[in-house]
Copies of this chain bind each other. A is one copy, B any other.
Amino acid sequence: MTPLYECRLKCELPQIVEALVRSVHDTPKIDHIDTHDLPSRRAIVEILTDLYSLLFPGFIRQDLCHANLDYFVGDRVDRLFVRLRDEIAKALLHGNEGREEIAIKEAKDRAEQIAVEFLKRLPEVRHLCETDVEAAFAGDPAAKSLAEVVFSYPGFHAIATYRLAHELLLLGVPLIPRFMTEHAHKETGIDIHPGATIGEGFFIDHGTGVVIGETTTIGKRVQMYHGVTLGAFSPRKGQALRGKKRHPTIEDEVTIYPNATILGGETVVGRGSVVGGNVWLTHSVPPGSRVAVESPAPKIISSDDSQV
């Protein structure tokens, strides 16, 4: 009698498990065994949700009015503090592994200080977000109201997340800021490194494919479209470039059209310039510049051929 296939697996199972366990020992770079806990992905997403509810209270929680606002804010701040402290402590312990030893108690104390300091900065983040929503409404004829921008514009969502993550990064928290901006990246297609420096009134329309690198500097009232890259050269040099200014500087009131790629730490796009779509720009341009490629002239083809 031939054995059931399921029995065949039961015979093979131990070898498969053994091979996988051996493989875990052989590839320590992707195993993360016997080490400090990472921050919890789920907890960071919950922290972000609570933070949005403090930045834009009535958009996240219905039925808010001035009579119940204090209770809502007080309760959220209290809950956030505990969650932030716990995840920041994990990140501090994890990030310092292999370098100096941080005692668990010390990490927790520092995490508490950081959490308090971060919560104090939220009003300033709210102020910046208000300048961003004004810029989006002013800049987009398709926007029907300020509420529509807050309710549904992915660019606004990605910038607000960046502004939160940036403050945590400035306070010395590892791992969590990047995880936050990658969460917004997943939801919006907009990848802003938390290390970038971005002025008030920033508007990204549509946004999918935008990349803003770690050492980018962006001035005030800059407006850009989807697919814009503010990136770096020379990737193969890799870690040797860590910490150097590798990404461009964009001065105030610059407009950048879709899919423009602007690279290099010494590249400066001067104040009020306009960069056209699909441009590849690797040098500086003075204030008030217009930079665009020519549109190609059409050639007439036979209509049933879609070869290009």
Contact = CB atoms under 8 A, between A and B. Distances in A.
Nearest to A269: B298
A150 B227 CA distance: 25
Interface in A74-100: 74, 77-78, 81, 94-95
Interface centre among A58, A225, A275 (most CB of B within 10 A): A58
B209 A23 contact: no
A141 to B, nearest CB: 4
A295 B195 CA distance: 27
B290 A301 contact: yes
Interface string A48-70: 00000011111100111110011
Contacts of A240: 141
Nearest to A190: B208
Nearest to A70: B21
A270 to B, nearest CB: 9
Copies in the complex: 3
A278 B276 contact: no
A296 B292 CA distance: 6
Contacts of A37: 62-63
Contacts of A300: 286, 288-290
A140 B77 CA distance: 36
Interface in A203-241: 205-206, 208-209, 211, 213-214, 223, 225-227, 229, 231-241
B63 A242 contact: no
A104 B16 CA distance: 27
Given A19-B120, A234-B306, A288 B259 contact: no
A25 B69 CA distance: 10
A246 to B, nearest CB: 7
Given A119-B16, A130-B30, A209-B227, A239 B141 contact: yes
Listed from nearest, the 3 A-B pairs whose CB atoms lie closest are: A32-B58, A289-B298, A23-B123
15 contacts: A5-B112, A21-B69, A29-B146, A30-B130, A31-B56, A32-B58, A32-B64, A95-B145, A191-B206, A205-B235, A233-B308, A259-B278, A272-B304, A279-B280, A290-B308
